[in-house]
Chains A and B, each alone.
Chain A
């Protein structure tokens, strides 16, 4: 790790102004991706602005059919939240399956979403549920938020303050974990509601994506068999030591069917 300046602002305004003043700043929102890369000297911010002091960013609330999770809410708190369990149990289950105990007790939803790791779990939930990312500047629908590998529409100094989830229909998430890292090799999130079906897949491609082929098929028939014969476009699929493109494409169907089976 290189030397850096550590800040722990107590208001969003202070955080933004620190960011503006610093040479090469980064926000710290849990740090379970950022700190290991800093320790390996792969990331070297001059200033680390820890959002842990922003109490207004933590917490879970529900108003009508909208579940709001503050950006600095830790995975463990989402997993344990009765509000989340009652509103969107699949989201609580997803949070319970992120990383390990240490990660869940430190990592936050805002940090995970802002990082947009192609194998992270939360982006699948946001995209699958049609969530909205609320920032210091705007509210962005999840459909527009995730751009590509480790890339989102967030601008310099923009801070996620909350994620809001519509509470509608039922949902399920199943992850096929990389045997070594236990990140998602493929994770499929499906939300079925009155307006149709949303399917988001993480791990398979360079960024989380909505699977329009599956959505179309499942909207007309919500059954495992609806996915038979569908070939996914795999141009931007990931290939690594643990999974080939073909294997990932195959797993998309297998895991999606398991999600469907658990919902029907």
Chain B
């Protein structure tokens, strides 16, 4: 299975165009005669629109049209749907409010669009937007998660502002185990709200051809086919075969570009309505206000142990903020991507989790790098760390003691998942060695001698990736299948064009997939071109999220390549007068076993397209194969992250002085790309743990609406990362890969916070551990000490 090319740190094929400014992003595209859209957004978080007069704006220079929520409704455009049904404990369906692409009468979050101005230039559209006369009857906003259920009801369809009250696991057994346990560790914690901030803001261009009645929508999407499905089947924008979606180069997504937003919907609709290409690109302020945010949980947890520290039961109650509307995948994030991960790497026999999803007058919250799994890992690895403190045990050894062992696989967790394979102790041991855990106390003493505090923290994470086995997902409420498609087109000269339904927006698929296919076909990766991101070119695909591209999309490509080889053997057998089952394919050559006869891959390709000597009665000419791959299970990347921090107690400034990540991603195609993915993920995880926080004030105004206040991690905030790998090969996909895109962001936050609490000698600190927060925590701890507490 593993061939040449696989495992090589090949330089990324796509980088030449990215670093020389030859990329083709949505905003780089300009269509002849295009107009520009500027969205008119609510300056308040919750209000009734009492009057709206667009006449002055319509009369302004260059304005083509001003369209409003009323016109969206008149044209019968549907609500932007949430695609994953979650059932409450009582079996009732989740409460989903309508989400109109443009608000018609009610505003539910600050920044929500209620009109769009379309003009010859962006400047004209923006000028005219200021002439839209609107009056609001402002209402009290519901902002915090904790207050959501007792606040004024935001949507008539959602009583108590609660979408669902979901549970997973055995309640009674868990409660009984907690009641009878030797020790129970209890913890309340917040998972801070994050704002994604991909480097390329969202953008869209709608283009309508009245001759063919087709709409082409260029947009910054991680999953163009899914966008087409939603916009056609649910929003009723156009029939599916009359809508083409092109997601060209996309500059980062982190989940925020999975979802179907108002803006691309409106731009496509307006393009047809006005028979005019219409372009919109978000500015950074719009990104802050309207890209789906991430995380934002408030949780309580109890971990029960026997006298030896064996975990007996875990109980979790979580309130998850959904924001003002249910975004495309929002409902699944705090349930099936969160509750199911709460067993972690541990053989805790009883786990019970309850999640209530609540609505607030804030931007919608949805999947953000890791999506649910970082929240689960943070909760679990924080409570395990505190349990070690309370049990007076080494935090690494408490984890080790409770690990699921290699011989336990396949392992059925108490929360629905069946882990196929892993070796958690191998990752822990390698990480302990790389991090020089043994030398930590000496390093701590050295820091103390310099007036600094030093701490070390662990995180043994697991994630469920490779989304997803369709039938499992369907039984859990998913509205779509989660397979992937792949096509390998061999050209007559033997070069190969690969089509994938996955989408690359920074991951390096054009290299990784080329390596995979080149290895299978025994050709150079320079002879493989990977095409993605255009519903007009490739088969339906499910896109990229949930670390699924290689394990699911790559597996589809591997199957397609296998079909190419199988057909090639038939052609080769004909040409060399042998049975196809006597043909071996190795390193780009079809060889007749036990002979010196052979044909190159290129010769076979040529023969397939120039079938002068060809078994046409048995075999079609041409050499193109497709495959769809539906995974049998999720994949389970896992590993250990160890963070070491040094804190200046005078200022609260915390430096991450050492960060070690040892991950098991199964088969690795390109270790350089994998390491880069880990680096980026850890940077985001450290960002969440120490820097980033999306904050609304009590009226629902976003206080962290720019980089002046929203602190993104920068290079000088980060150490050099020590990244290592251990490998257990995924048992159920042909690549053997598990996925690596989210691990860094999942594993790292608790490692950082555990290191900080370890350094400070405190039990808890909330993320982000900013200098102010760390200093204040130290002050409080000192005062408590002074009071003898």
Contacts and interface: CB of A to CB of B under 8 A. Distances in A.
A32 to B, nearest CB: 13
A241 B695 contact: yes
Q: Give me the 5 closest cross-chain CB pairs, A-B, nearest first.
A: A180-B711, A181-B708, A254-B650, A179-B711, A247-B772
Interface in A146-192: 176, 179-181
Given A241-B704, A247-B776, A251-B651, A181 B771 contact: no
A258 to B, nearest CB: 9
A180 B776 contact: no
A180 B707 contact: yes
B770 A242 contact: yes
Nearest to B691: A179
Nearest to B648: A254
B775 interface: yes
B275 interface: no
B526 interface: no
A243 interface: yes
Nearest to B127: A2
A181 B704 CA distance: 11
Contact of A254 (B651, B693, B707, B776): B651
B703 A241 contact: yes
A250 interface: yes
Contacts of A242: 709, 770, 772
A240 B711 CA distance: 14
A262 interface: no
B215 to A, nearest CB: 32
B709 A181 contact: yes
Interface in A227-251: 240-244, 247, 250-251
A59 to B, nearest CB: 32
Contacts of B717: 179
A143 to B, nearest CB: 29
25 contacts: A176-B651, A179-B691, A179-B711, A179-B717, A179-B771, A180-B691, A180-B707, A180-B708, A180-B709, A180-B710, A180-B711, A180-B712, A181-B707, A181-B709, A241-B693, A241-B695, A241-B703, A241-B704, A241-B709, A242-B709, A244-B776, A247-B652, A247-B775, A247-B776, A250-B775
A52 to B, nearest CB: 24
Contacts of B704: 241
Interface string B708-748: 11111000010000000000000000000000000000000
A40 interface: yes
A175 B708 CA distance: 17
Given A180-B711, A181-B708, A181-B709, A244 B651 contact: no
Contacts of B709: 180-181, 240-242
B330 to A, nearest CB: 26
On chain A, which size bracket covers the interface? Answer: 10 to 19
Interface string A120-154: 00000000000000000000000000000000000
A243 B711 contact: no
Interface string A42-85: 00000000000000000000000000000000000000000000
Contacts of B707: 180-181
B285 interface: yes
A179 B692 CA distance: 10
A244 B711 contact: no
A95 B295 CA distance: 39
A10 to B, nearest CB: 30
Contacts of A243: 772
Interface in B748-789: 770-772, 775-776
A250 B782 CA distance: 15
Contacts of A180: 691, 707-712
Contact of B285 (A40, A179, A247, A250): A40
Contacts of B691: 179-180
A250 B693 CA distance: 24
Nearest to B710: A180
Q: Which one of B285, B691, B711 has the greatest number of beta carbons of chain A within 10 Å?
A: B711
Given A241-B709, A247-B776, A179 B770 contact: yes
Nearest to B768: A179
Contacts of B693: 241
B771 to A, nearest CB: 7
Contacts of B695: 241
Given A181-B708, A244-B776, 19 more contacts: A2-B127, A40-B285, A179-B770, A179-B771, A180-B707, A180-B709, A180-B711, A180-B712, A181-B707, A241-B693, A241-B703, A241-B704, A242-B770, A243-B772, A247-B652, A247-B772, A247-B775, A247-B776, A250-B775
A180 B650 CA distance: 20
Contacts of A251: 651
B282 to A, nearest CB: 14
B722 to A, nearest CB: 24
Contacts of B710: 180
Nearest to A242: B772
Contacts of A250: 775
Interface string B690-702: 0101010000000
B708 A244 contact: no
Nearest to B690: A179
Contacts of A254: 650-651
Contacts of A40: 285
Nearest to A241: B709
A2 B130 CA distance: 12
A254 B717 CA distance: 21
Nearest to A180: B711
Most central of B703, B709, B712, B771 by chain A CB within 10 Å: B771
A251 B774 CA distance: 13
Nearest to A183: B708
Contacts of B703: 241
A34 B367 CA distance: 37
Interface in A246-264: 247, 250-251, 254
Interface string B649-684: 011100000000000000000000000000000000
A180 B690 CA distance: 11
Contacts of A241: 693, 695, 703-704, 709
A152 to B, nearest CB: 22
Contacts of B712: 180
A245 B47 CA distance: 34
A181 B772 CA distance: 15
A154 to B, nearest CB: 25
Contacts of A244: 772, 776
Interface in B630-655: 650-652
A2 B717 CA distance: 37
Nearest to A40: B285
A242 B483 CA distance: 45
A167 to B, nearest CB: 32
Interface centre among A241, A244, A250, by most B CB within 10 Å? A241
